[in-house]
Amino acid sequence: MKKLTAIAVLLLMVPSLASAQNTDHRDPGQGYLFFGVGAGIIPGGNTYMPWGVEYVYPVDIRVQQLGLGGEAFLHKGLGAGGEVSHASWAGNNAAWIGSGDFSYHFRRHAPRGGVDPFVLGGVSIVSATEAGTGRASPAGNFGVGADVWLAKHAALRFECRDVVGANSWSFSHVVSFRVGVTFR
């Protein structure tokens, strides 16, 4: 009789064990699209000659960037991802940029109307397309941003990123301010 009672109690406990499981399945990653504008700091500078006086200025503010990326969450807010973008500046100069990054999202599970700030950094490959060089140069990148979740699976993305040390791109820094959308 004790054995039958123990089996009955265990069978009655099974539904309560099942309800204790987490039914809120968290998305393992997210993707994003962006458009960016920014400035590039040029090692040699550009020459400008107002009234016959030569002036060298080190910033080209005409950098435009368009790209997409994604990231998978490894543990809590820590993520690993990649992106590809196309940047252009000063006439017909352009480059493809590929990046692999680690990121940390401080509020990864932010609800609708919530803000998820993040930081990121990683390595980049910059392949300049100007003058037919087509050579790729290694670079690094780092940035900060925030996703503003407007719906359960869609957010506005705001980000500032700096690509550092792209020699074939003729820049030592390219700082871009990005606006885009994130999907999870």
Let me know: does 80 contact 62? Beta carbons within 8 Å.
no
Confidence tier at 43 by pLDDT (50, 70, 90): low
pTM confidence score: 0.73
Residue 150 belongs to some domain of the structure: yes
- Distance from the first to the final alpha carbon of the chain: 53
Residue 119 is predicted with a pLDDT of 97
**Is the residue at 58 inside a domain?**
yes
* Beta strand pairing call for 136-149 and 154-164: antiparallel
Greater confidence (45 vs 6) lies with 6
pLDDT surpassing 90 at residue 148: yes
CATH code of residue 61 = 2.40.160.20
Residue 98 in any domain: the answer is yes
Q: How many domains does the chain have?
A: 1
Residue 18 in any domain: the answer is no
User: Is position 117 within any domain?
Assistant: yes
For 62-112, write each residue's pLDDT tens digit.
Answer: 778 899 999 999 988 899 999 999 888 766 777 888 999 999 999 888 888
pLDDT band at 143 (very low <50, low <70, confident <90, very high): very high
- Predicted pLDDT of residue 158: 97
Domain of residue 138, residue span:
28-183
